[in-house]
Amino acid sequence: ILNVEQSPQSLHVQEGDSTNFTCSFPSSNFYALHWYRWETAKSPEALFVMTLNGDEKKKGRISATLNTKEGYSYLYIKGSQPEDSATYLCAFIRNTGNQFYFGTGTSLTVIP
């Protein structure tokens, strides 16, 4: 069984706060890591696809970093807004078999 862990499980922050969460994955056989944003009653929406150790990606106030040697990725949200409230999922793709392994997500609630 391959474990992809996300922490924390849930997070409540005040509007304007910056926050970050972690996705941990096996450091061997890395192929790619995806981040998704999943709002309640909607479908997951792709945020980033990360492929190289040291990758840093940014989309507006959201950014992500990747460390494949130690097996983790961080997602940062700067100046959280209520519309950022969602579950943030990461998915690890191994270089053998091309399968996707999702974490259980971090549920973020931004309080106005």
**Nearer Cβ to another protein, position 45 or 56?**
45
- Give the position of tokens 């996300």: 6
| 91, 3 contact by CB (below 8 A) | no
CB neighbours of residue 2 within 10 Å: 10
- Applying CB under 8 A, among 7, 29, 67, 104 the residue interacting with another protein is 104
Kindly report the backbone phi and psi dihedral angles of residue 60, in degrees, each rounded to the nearest multiple of 5, phi listed first. Answer: 65, -125
**Could you tell me which stretch among 13-21, 22-30, 74-82, 100-108 binds another protein (CB under 8 A)?**
100-108
Indicate whether 32 belongs to the interface with another protein (CB under 8 A): yes
CA torsion, points 87, 48, 61, 44, in degrees to nearest 10? -30
Q: Quote the DSSP letter at residue 39.
A: -
Question: Which of the residues 63 through 92 are near another protein (CB under 8 A)?
Answer: 89, 91
CA angle 60, 63, 77 (to 5 degrees): 80
Nearest distance in Å: CB 76, another protein: 19
- Applying CB under 8 A, among 40, 83, 98, 112 the residue interacting with another protein is 98
State the residues that interact with another protein by CB under 8 A.
31-32, 34, 42-46, 48-49, 51, 89, 91, 93, 97-105
